[in-house]
Chains A and B, each alone.
Chain A
Amino acid sequence: MQALTKALGEVAKVVLGKEDQLKLALTCLMANGHLLIEDLPGMGKTTLAHALARVFQLEYRRVQFTSDMLPADILGVSVFNPNTQDFTLREGPVFTQLLLADEINRATPKTQGALLEAMEERQVTLDGVTRPLPRPFFVVATQNPSDQAGTFVLPESQLDRFLMRISLGYPAPEVELALLAGGDLREQARSLKPVISSDGLVKLSGMVDKVRASHELLDYVQRLMDATRTDDRFVAGLSPRAGLGLLKAARAWALISGRDYAVPEDIQAVWAAVAEHRLSARQGGSVSAMTQSLLQSVPVVRR
């Protein structure tokens, strides 16, 4: 638990003033989930991914998605080797522990689909040969919300593959001052001290599953799920996968908070990050506000 706090502290050195988002990102990793960061360019998305990879000693690769990208550019390709008269697989960038998929919405659906399939299955099938991806395997994808020209919006079914979506947002004034005074943070990210090994992270993930959730808590989660389904402001309610993800994320949050059992606060803490990107409003309006309002109206304790 101390290691976790220390890891958080390390990452906070380069992503300034964003403790909550950092904690969520960490939670996401511990819950074995993929993370979608939605932000304008230059907000520190890449720095965050870098820092996480560094602190957890993860093998790290970055892919800049573009519209002319093909699945092979990510997954890899079979190349004919004239010496052996055989095809050998050249692994693509996906064969890593932490993949930063920058501007994922710029790629064509075909390419997006290839990546998302790899994310879900944690394996890649090329030319009929299935190859497992390394463990742990995380995708941190980013997308630019304002620039919609020439992008392919991720469909909801694929958004569901991301456990969480967070956005970092502009830094607070004093943080920005410190930022300006401090110099290149991405450089600093490279020099962060590793805190937990990647094996340690796998072990932590195992501990997440042991965090206990009482019947009453499961009941609360179910009520929240139900509320998204009966609320006609949403096009569709949350999927059971979302419910499982919510619970897992809450467990991870509880573990980071130093508890071996989850409480409703854990659910509420991860709720927005887990639920918002999976929901869409029927008649416009802020999905974020609607999602948040459910926390107010759904009773925590059954009445």
Chain B
Amino acid sequence: MRVYQVPTHTRLWLVITIIACSLPQLLRGHLWQAGLVVLVMVIRSLADRQRIQLPGKAIRGLLMVGVVGITWITFGRIYGPEAGVALLVSLFSLKYLEVVRQRDAYVVIVLGYFVCATALLFERGPGMFAYVLLCMLLLTTCLIGINHSDTGARPMGHVRRAVAMSLQAVPVMLVLFVLVPRVAPLWNMKIDSGQARTGMSDSMSPGEISELSQSSELAFRVAFDGAIPEKGERYWRGLTLSHFDGRTWQQAIPRGVDKQAYLFQKGGPEPEWHKSLMAQDRGSGYRYQVIMEPTQRTWLFAMKVPVLEQGEAGLARDMRLVASRPISESVGYTVTSYPNLSSAIGLERSDRALMLSLPEDQNVGRRARGLAQQWQLDSSTDADVVKQALRHFREKPFYYTLKPPPLPVDPIDEFLFVTRRGFCEHYASSFTFMMRAAGIPARVVVGYQGGEPNELGSHLLVRQYDAHAWSEVWLEGKGWVRVDPTGAVAPERIEDGLRAALSGNGEDSNVLEGLRSFASSGLLGKLQQWTDYVDFQWQTWVLGYNSQSQMQLLRQLLGSTSPLSIALALFGAITLLLGLYMLVLLRQDRGYRQTPMEREFWRLHQRVAERQGAPLDPGLTPQQLANTIAARWPGAAKPAREWALQYQQALYNPAVLADKRRIRHLRRLRNRLYKLLG
């Protein structure tokens, strides 16, 4: 028989802890991993009951080779975050088969701290963070547990101690979090978070945005420093699309324009257009922080005209922000948008050519071209043409719907003159087409419009169903002007959002239900708002604490960000904390805590002294205290003597336990005495 040096009471905790640490991976990963953990636990519990022998070296070796093999088959490799973590978790559970001595348990527990932290590679929300903390608490409990023999072990006491130890570690954790310099990862781990994200693509063809609009997934959150602009003003620009092939709008850069000059990066050479933009009088702006969900794309969303204050991105000449690499995890950036800042930075010849370009084939949108040319002849200015077009959308029977009929041949003409039912992309697309046909430079802008405030955090939630497309036209003297033809057809879309615009339109009620953001009222709604609020704060303060914001904070705190001052602050803060703990420990060592029994005596002592109006000797024995009561309040003699007897028994007779029941009994007697003492 083997001698198990891991105490019995800890074994259950170890099992729970191992499962808890592996759980995030098991839920995310493949079924065989969960199977393996179950297999290990079954083998182990049978072995603990002496039904079978623990597997020997050969079987364990086979299992290990098997696990490596399966990992290879499943992932095609055994390194990289996904495969690596899968392998780690599997080997972690296998390790439990080997735990016999205390040393083995140490290995498993220390490994466990690492394993549970790997969950944060894939998910970094406050929920996962709390879960990892819970795992660490369990691990610490086990660590305490294996150091206690079975006699007199109280597992709940170990939990309490683990909680106390963890709480003591929290200040140190905060200091390390704030002060330890953040460095960019040495390599960029590409982690496939397992689910394909919905979001904007870099082109727009009919049906694309309306499909996106059926998702209520979060696109980004915005926290304004001051007032939130009107809903009708909240156009979050993402991309401008300038090339149209008759069906699809695409991003394009004017021929002959240098890519370097098109995009201004902070620190890079400043192109002419940026200089002239900055030279203008800006007027007042909206300052806000955007926390974006990962999109795997480089474009960022902001209102016009964005000036980046914090974050890593450049400004493109079409007044949109472009990140330096694809957004693969939540990212935050701070922007001030100046709506009055004109983007009239000149329209060069190559620009104009691109913004007026239409498909070569004159048959594409032939009727639309004709209508636009008619308007051009009727109007004196470009602005009049725009007005005419909007009037056309307003007065002809156009419908705004999520389920437009298919437009198989010529999307522009079919939509404008046959079906007249469409979503924002149809309106933006056909409007821009007609503007170009009328000789007005125009482009399609895709992004989001609106966003819903969370009452708790006063931040804005922009979801996928807020996706929108609109147009910008170049008006001489004014520059690029936003025109939203959808607003002419369905003003509710702009003012009240998609749901309002679609209800009463005969739309599928299931679809409408999916567009709800927060349950409109009641507990569930509140709960959702709270969850969102916590999540947002987490994103802002914890995940958003990057090297840039760290340097800013340190500059404020320390006045300098030299390595020496950071090192001193780190060392000083931790020394201070340890000193504080030491002080508390020293104080605790000197003083003592009154036991419940001692409190019991002194409470009665004090009450009697108060009631008789004269101090009592501290040297009274319980019996003498009872006699004092009996002498002054003869009516209380009996309960007083009973109290004294019980008390004396509990405190001095080792055969009598001073347990909770007895203390309760004493307290009851004392309360009765209080009444008798008046």
Contacts and interface: CB of A to CB of B under 8 A. Distances in A.
- Do A and B pair up? The answer is yes
Interface of A: 212-214, 216-217, 261-265, 268, 294-303
Contact of B655 (A213, A217, A261, A298): A261
Interface in B92-137: none
A301 B652 contact: no
Nearest to B656: A261
A299 B619 contact: yes
B534 to A, nearest CB: 46
A296 B617 contact: yes
A141 to B, nearest CB: 31
A76 B528 CA distance: 101
A265 B602 CA distance: 18
B593 to A, nearest CB: 10
B619 A295 contact: yes
B598 A214 contact: no
B601 to A, nearest CB: 4
Contact of B653 (A214, A297, A302): A214
Nearest to B621: A264
B598 A302 contact: yes
Given A261-B652, A261-B653, A264-B652, A300 B602 contact: no
Contacts of A262: 652
Contact of A268 (B592, B621, B651, B655): B621
A302 B593 CA distance: 10
Contacts of A299: 618-619
Interface in B596-625: 597-598, 601-602, 617-624
B654 interface: yes
Contacts of A217: 652
A297 B623 CA distance: 16
B648 interface: yes
A261 B619 contact: no
Given A301-B602, A303-B594, A303-B602, A214 B617 contact: no
A31 B655 CA distance: 23
B432 to A, nearest CB: 87
Nearest to B654: A212
Contacts, number: 58
A158 to B, nearest CB: 30
Nearest to A302: B598
Interface residues of B, number: 20
Contacts of A294: 619
B598 A301 contact: yes
A265 B653 CA distance: 13
13 contacts: A212-B654, A213-B652, A214-B651, A261-B654, A263-B623, A264-B622, A265-B623, A295-B619, A297-B618, A300-B620, A300-B621, A301-B651, A303-B618
Contacts of B623: 263, 265
Contact of A214 (B601, B619, B652): B652
Nearest to A213: B652
A109 B397 CA distance: 133
Nearest to B618: A299
B598 A303 contact: yes
Contacts of B653: 212, 214, 261
Centre residue among B592, B594, B621, B654 by max chain A CB count within 10 A: B621
A302 B594 CA distance: 8
A221 to B, nearest CB: 12
A217 B622 CA distance: 12
Contact of A297 (B594, B602, B619, B624): B619
B652 A298 contact: no
B1 to A, nearest CB: 41
Given A263-B648, A303-B598, A214 B654 contact: yes
A216 B654 CA distance: 10
Contacts of A295: 619
Centre residue among A264, A294, A300 by max chain B CB count within 10 A: A300
Nearest to B620: A300
Contacts of B597: 216, 301
Contacts of B592: 302
Contacts of A301: 597-598, 601-602, 622, 651
A-B pairs, 3 with minimum CB distance? A299-B618, A296-B617, A264-B621
Interface string B579-604: 00000000000001010011001100
Given A301-B598, A301-B602, A303-B598, A216 B618 contact: no
Contact of B619 (A212, A213, A296, A302): A296
Given A296-B617, A300-B622, 17 more contacts: A212-B653, A212-B655, A214-B652, A216-B651, A217-B652, A261-B652, A261-B655, A264-B652, A296-B619, A297-B618, A298-B618, A300-B620, A301-B602, A301-B622, A301-B651, A302-B592, A303-B602
A263 B621 CA distance: 9
A264 B621 CA distance: 6
Contact of B652 (A263, A297, A302): A263
Nearest to B619: A296
Contacts of A212: 653-655
A216 B594 contact: no
Contacts of B622: 264, 300-301
A300 B625 CA distance: 11
B446 to A, nearest CB: 77
Interface in B52-105: none
B655 to A, nearest CB: 7
A214 B654 CA distance: 6
B416 to A, nearest CB: 93
A212 B618 CA distance: 24
A214 B651 CA distance: 7
Contacts of B655: 212, 261
Interface string B549-581: 000000000000000000000000000000000
Nearest to B600: A301
B622 to A, nearest CB: 7
Given A216-B651, A263-B648, A303-B594, A298 B621 contact: no
B619 A298 contact: yes
A105 B484 CA distance: 122
A294 to B, nearest CB: 8
A303 B653 CA distance: 20
Centre residue among B594, B620, B652, B654 by max chain A CB count within 10 A: B652
Contacts of B624: 265
B510 to A, nearest CB: 72
B621 A265 contact: yes
A214 to B, nearest CB: 5
Contacts of B598: 301-303
Centre residue among B592, B594, B653 by max chain A CB count within 10 A: B653
Nearest to B602: A303
Contacts of A302: 592, 594, 598
A300 B598 CA distance: 10
B654 to A, nearest CB: 5
B130 to A, nearest CB: 42
A212 B592 CA distance: 25
B182 to A, nearest CB: 53
A298 B618 CA distance: 6
